[in-house]
Structure 1
Amino acid sequence: MRQLKINKSITNRENASLDKYLTDIGREDLITADEEVRLAQRIREGDEVALNKLVKANLRFVVSVAKQYQNQGLSLPDLINEGNVGLIKAARRFDETRGFKFISYAVWWIRQSILQALAEQSRIVRLPLNQVGSINKIKKTISQLEQQFNRPPSDEEIAKYLETTEGKVNAAKQISNRSISIDAPISHEDDTSMVDFITSSDAVPSDDNLMKESLTQEIQRSLNTLTDKEKEVVNLYYGIGMNHGLTLDEIGDKFDLTRENMERHWPLFFMDIILERQEKTSTENTEKRRENKQ
């Protein structure tokens, strides 16, 4: 049997569109935190241009998140589309006065939109065996006709070959398209398949690094609102800036507390820190009032 050669514009149309989209969003300039603040203020006033700019500057992060949910029932373009919906929602709701970067806030909305779409996709009734057989027969017919015509056959041609209706062919193809083989080739030029693009557990995408860096900065900013003592306790317990966090025993030794006290009074320990700060503030205010009276 002669080797099938199908025009790239037909077989790789979706991949070509995705490649172009990724190239286009890669050209979008990232914006600074100050620009985010100004854009958020304009968005609240109904400025659609500002909304468009904030969204476009963060589209690449949606792709990074969407890649984490591949091979779960939706194609990557569909996952990106759903993530973009979440990004737009986040842009409309972003409150710049809280002091956090936009993407740190938007990631939650992006994930939620994708997860919701996957949940809806999973609500699929199992097909009877006779329908499964029909789908497999149509797939086999498509393969045979592709070899015969040297191109993908139309629904009309498939229906004529199987002596059925175009509607039944189209319905079967729609159901079949919900699943994607990770071994399917993505290009006629080589043997590369989708499985080759599944990220190793040890690999960290560059966009993920950017998001993690952003989140780290926001966490550090929050820690800076604490006293040195509070910050030290939080850093030790959660291992911030360290290879790993300390146990309650280790933290207890550092602050002269037994493990029993740490486990029983862990919340009170933080309360003591707060009360200590309040007492210090109260004392300072009292001293200031005395000085003013004098």
Structure 2
Amino acid sequence: MTDTLNPPPLGEQPVPQQTLVGDQPVGEPSPADLQRVAAEVDEDIDLDELQELVPATDAITRYLREIGRTPLLNATQEVDLAQTIEAGKAGRAALADAQVDLSPTDRLQLKQAVERGNDARQKLIQSNLRLVVSVAKKYMGRGMPLLDLIQEGNIGLMRAVEKFDWRKGNRFSTYATWWIRQAVTRALAEQSRLIRLPVHLGESLGQMRRTAERLAIALQREPTHAELGTALGLPEEQVKRMLEAVRQPISLSLPVGESGESQFGDFIEDDRIAPPEEQANRSLMERDLVQAMSELPDRERTVLELRYGLHDGQRRTLEEVGRILGITRERARQIEGEALRRLRTSESGSGLRGYLE
């Protein structure tokens, strides 16, 4: 069980901007859609039954127990949380607007509204995690493990939290159920595309297999792609593409060796994880960068943080930096140049060059 089952707080994981089922974008549910869903919403889950359906591990048991302990929300609580989330979004927008001149009191109040909005968002998500499980379990047996279905459903739940409009009078649980279903069915559709072939291609491959068998008998060896293409009246490249299409996926859990203790995935390097030496160098570099940046004047440090996304990972143009700080693009460029020159000539900044060589 991984932490991906628990949706992170606002800002730690982006919410998808568009939900797809297959290749089709999904818009807002119609009133008729929500009316059908409302009759089927089931927020109750039988924990004992679920634990029989998934591997019995402490992590899984703990997760199911935790979501079972979180109280369900009534309609009034849903609306209250939705309004608080909306106020937080408005506060965040006001704080980001460089054209608005805010007093220290107003800025503090807006920051508090943003924090309350984040808390409300998290509570609305946590209070509906059992709803995700209730929907996900109905799609078991279609090629995806229950835990994967729950993870996909959690993405749909976060999408519902972002899009819910309390003014329309719908229960959030009804609205969220619709989005959870879209996320789960999309995931199932995408997985099925990995192994399902069009009928006409399946027939062509059958003919190719039979032709290959006849050629192998006649040639006393396996035919080449070119020989297969000649016999079938197809270009060699098309034969290669057809054979590529039928490659069977290999499970990472496939036992390897006589003992079966090792798995196929154990021998595949995870290129998403840097080697220990690289991780150590990165940690040291980040430490030295923080030290070097702390010696800069506030304005120069802020410009570099905005320009290179040192806090939020979002790199900004000089024009955007200028707009945020209320200065011209040219002035932002000058301050950036001054900051970089100061870093190059400072004792702590010069130490950063060793990491880049």
Per the normalisation by structure 1, the TM-score is 0.42
Greater helix content = 1
